[in-house]
Structure 1
Amino acid sequence: MFVADTLEAWLAHLEQLHPSAIDMGLERVARVRDALGLKPGFPILTVGGTNGKGSVCAMLTAMLRAAGYKVGTYTSPHLLTYNERVRIDLEPASDAAIVAAFAAVEAARGDTSLTYFEFGTLAAMQQFIAAGVDVAVLEVGLGGRLDAVNAFDADVAAVVNVDLDHQAYLGDTREKIAFEKAGIYRPGQLAFCADPNPPQALLDVAAQQGAELRLLSRDYSWQLEAEGNQWACTTPAGTRHALPLPALRGNYQLGNAALAVAMLDGVRNRLPVSLGQVKRGLLEVEWPARCQVLPGRPQTVLDVAHNPHAARALRQALDGMGYAANTHAVFGAMADKDIASVVTILADRIDCWHLAAPQIARAASSEQLAGIVAAAAPKAQVKRYDSVAEAWRGACEAAGEADRILAFGSFYTVAEVMAARG
């Protein structure tokens, strides 16, 4: 049995424990869950979807915290430190707490091999139970039906949206992907879908499961008020008026906020949250690198948009940020992503591309990126660098005060930019 005192050593152990980084299925994780005796006695809110699930989790957590609940939140991936994945009352877990949970999982698993994510998911729940949280907010890692998070039954489950991503694991159509994502729904429990055009497969799974499905526009809705400076959310519980715009930028965040409010209204008998507490949570929510605008000039924007759906949302958000003389993009992406579509969607919003591969084997090379950009935006300036940090410095040197620097793409790219900024 592996033994270590440091989080760094444990993470290195997790990375080599299983033969493949992604191995879909619940049999292994369920076996170790039962060996650990992990039986959460608190409500679980699970959020899946192609994009936006982390933002919804952040809003749920902020509103529940404003209501005074002790909240455990599990999200992935992290940006700078693994501790970001496991939060209790908004605070990242300590190294010591994570190491203790990892040791418990290691002792319970026997000869069962677990992936990095499976191991971490079990350890997160171990910490939440040990801490005595009132509620857990869980973000699905990949898909839903066979994701490790789905080893824990959700009292309320939501699919934010369904679009193409991770096709090698989830399927190459929205219908196939929807089938996987809807796997988090449970019989007799509330299920939400915020996609304006929910695939039939999702509706079918919800019906087969006997879940109580609530859809955007049909069962809950949102609308702007006060000339766009406030908004209202209508659910079966009634209408909440004069809500502040969420602290997270981008008009698309209103849809995420409405979903979070609707989810909480669905469990108001167990977890009541007042109008004032909803408002406070919306004003205080933080979620780094999701259309995050940093202080100072030139304007700097961080966003982890790495698929077409997210790129369209980013484009819309940029259009709402006002004038910039030139936009310099620091961009890097994984080779298995639809890079061409992402670049095409944003091509006419970017004047100069600063390209580099983040430090991970799956990353597309700067040469590959340059070829894609040249095809999609032949008039754009393109500069290649040996590292993301160098690309960031190059963009900073090239940008004037009236310009904008956009650092986007994979989580690894944005994380390396954040590290380079210091």
Structure 2
Amino acid sequence: MKMNKRSLNEWLSYLEKLHPTEIELGLTRIGKVANDLNVIHFDAKVITVAGTNGKGTTCAFLEEILIQAGYKVGVYSSPHIQRYTERLRINKQEMPEQFHCQAFEKIESLRGDTSLSYFEYVTLGCLDILKAEKCDFILLEVGLGGRLDATNVVESDVSVVTTIGIDHIDWLGDDREKIGFEKAGVFRASKPVICGELDAPQSLQQHAENINADIRYAGKDFQATIGANSWSWSGHKNIDNLPLTLMPLQNASTALAVIEALELELPVTLLTNAIGHAQLAGRLQKVSSETQVDTYLDVAHNPQSAEYLATQLQHLRKPGGKVFAIVGMLEDKDLTGTFAVINSAIDYYHLIPLECYRGASQQTLLKHYQASNDLPAKVDCFETIADAYNRVLSKANNDDIIIVFGSFYTVSAFLTFSQG
């Protein structure tokens, strides 16, 4: 008798238990199954995007530009915030759960005794759907590092590195030269590479030279110049009067360099409109609420991303207004360093625990805040995000701002609470 088909939740539960470790870098296992699944080479133009921060927003800018230009665009990203199906979108539409289940069934029938990690299995599933959908462009957001990440099994046409900072020390190393080498692992010989990092490590530059990559550097081969009410971009051509956005302009600049490397001749009006309309959940995402207090969500979770968030909060701050932060983070992040760069932008902290693997307790967050603190921000600890938010609302007025940040898990918890 035929067994009932697994639901998506049943599949995900199965995948979580399938492999002994959550993260196991390397392309040997996934490479074998990817070859059998025929997802190493695509007819589409494939753009692989690596980087410590900025991968998602760079993909969002590219996605908006290419869709407005009339192309069919697939984007694979991770992690998701609320729904697993957020990980794959085609022309901004999430694929139905059934598509993912069918892809998992195919992988299960092909993998034999090859053990796959959760991320490897998920990556293969999304690649299988992308293959079937026959996109014009595919944007692959690297999960961790680059050289040994599951996405690197695909042969790409353009490789991108957005930024390079210290993160994921256990897997990538504890200095920028080691991390730069890992990111550079997505480069392809003689193919275009866009480096959005303004201070590229020597290891990255050397690897690009060794494989004769056609690399273009931010600050040298292309650059963004920010004015009071607009910004301009210069590469082989110049584009003026581009709109300022809440998402990092350096990532928009990197996206424009990719468009140039693809040799796409697109109208300036299209590029201007696309950059102004590009959005991504969890990146200074403004949420609607019954209150009049502006509330923003951001997944900033390390010093580099927190530093950018701090500058944006200073711009958003209203005259005489305060900034109330609700913070939850993972314990293996640079907690002290993250607090240190954003303290000057925050007036009141509300620390919460994350109920997940590696989630830091509010007491752990408090300890790291105290280690970083040289400013008189006021700090309270709470058991739940609901408790923290309700306390903030009891104190904040219409001139204030609420920022919820620290992790994808934090943003997800807030959205689940606020929408429930």
Retained in 1: the 8 A contact 2:27–2:150?
yes
Alignment CA distance shift 1:144-1:3 (3 Å)? farther
Corresponding letter in the other structure for 1:388 = I
Q: Match of 2:323?
A: 327
Corresponding letter in the other structure for 2:230 = Q
Per-residue deviation at 1:272? 4.5
Mapped to 2, the partners of 1:203 and 1:145 lie a distance apart of 15
Q: 1:67 aligns with which of 69, 86, 92?
A: 69
Q: Match of 1:30?
A: 31
Q: Match of 2:303?
A: 308
Mapped to 2, the partners of 1:273 and 1:114 lie a distance apart of 41
Q: Match of 1:245?
A: 244
Per-residue deviation at 1:241? 2.7
Per-residue deviation at 1:317? 0.9
Secondary structure at 2:242's aligned position in 1?
A: strand
Mapped to 1, the partners of 2:221 and 2:403 lie a distance apart of 37
Mapped to 2, the partners of 1:398 and 1:183 lie a distance apart of 49
Q: 2:273 aligns with which of 263, 270, 280?
A: 280
Mapped to 1, the partners of 2:293 and 2:228 lie a distance apart of 27
Retained in 1: the 8 A contact 2:190–2:212?
yes
Per-residue deviation at 1:3? 7.3
Q: Match of 1:18?
A: 19
Gaps of 5+ in 1: none
Per-residue deviation at 1:124? 1.0
Secondary structure at 1:32's aligned position in 2?
A: helix
Q: Match of 1:254?
A: 249
Mapped to 1, the partners of 2:140 and 2:386 lie a distance apart of 32
Retained in 2: the 8 A contact 1:301–1:405?
yes
Corresponding letter in the other structure for 2:14 = H
Per-residue deviation at 1:233? 1.7
Q: Match of 2:103?
A: 101
Q: Match of 1:384?
A: 381
Matched, 1:399 2:401: no
Matched, 1:408 2:381: no
Per-residue deviation at 1:371? 2.0
Q: 1:293 aligns with which of 286, 293, 300?
A: 286
Per-residue deviation at 1:150? 0.4
Tell me the matched-pair count.
413
TM-score where L is the length of structure 2? 0.94
Retained in 2: the 8 A contact 1:75–1:86?
yes
Secondary structure at 2:316's aligned position in 1?
A: coil
Show CA shifts across 1:81-109 (max 9, x none).
01111001111111111111111111111
Higher mean displacement: 370-379 or 283-292 = 370-379
Q: Match of 2:370?
A: 374
Show CA shifts across 1:342-400 (max 9, x none).
11212232222111112202111111112222333373322222222332232223322
Higher mean displacement: 71-80 or 396-405 = 396-405
Retained in 2: the 8 A contact 1:3–1:103?
no
Q: Match of 1:111?
A: 113
Mapped to 1, the partners of 2:202 and 2:4 lie a distance apart of 48
Secondary structure at 1:10's aligned position in 2?
A: helix
- Could you list the runs of 4 or more consecutive aligned residues of structure 1 that deviate by over 4 angstroms after TM superposition? none
Alignment CA distance shift 1:220-1:348 (3 Å)? closer
Higher mean displacement: 291-300 or 207-216 = 291-300
Mapped to 2, the partners of 1:401 and 1:276 lie a distance apart of 36
Q: Match of 1:267?
A: 262
Retained in 1: the 8 A contact 2:317–2:401?
no
Mapped to 1, the partners of 2:5 and 2:54 lie a distance apart of 35
Mapped to 1, the partners of 2:266 and 2:48 lie a distance apart of 18
Retained in 1: the 8 A contact 2:157–2:192?
yes
Secondary structure at 2:163's aligned position in 1?
A: coil
Corresponding letter in the other structure for 2:371 = A
Per-residue deviation at 1:210? 1.4
Secondary structure at 1:157's aligned position in 2?
A: strand
Secondary structure at 1:228's aligned position in 2?
A: coil
Corresponding letter in the other structure for 2:275 = L
Mapped to 1, the partners of 2:85 and 2:131 lie a distance apart of 17
TM-score where L is the length of structure 1? 0.94
Matched, 1:124 2:126: yes
Mapped to 2, the partners of 1:91 and 1:315 lie a distance apart of 31
Matches within 5 A, 1:123-142: 123-142=125-144
Mapped to 1, the partners of 2:235 and 2:409 lie a distance apart of 38
Retained in 2: the 8 A contact 1:307–1:339?
yes
Q: Match of 2:213?
A: 211
Secondary structure at 1:96's aligned position in 2?
A: helix
Matched, 1:9 2:4: no
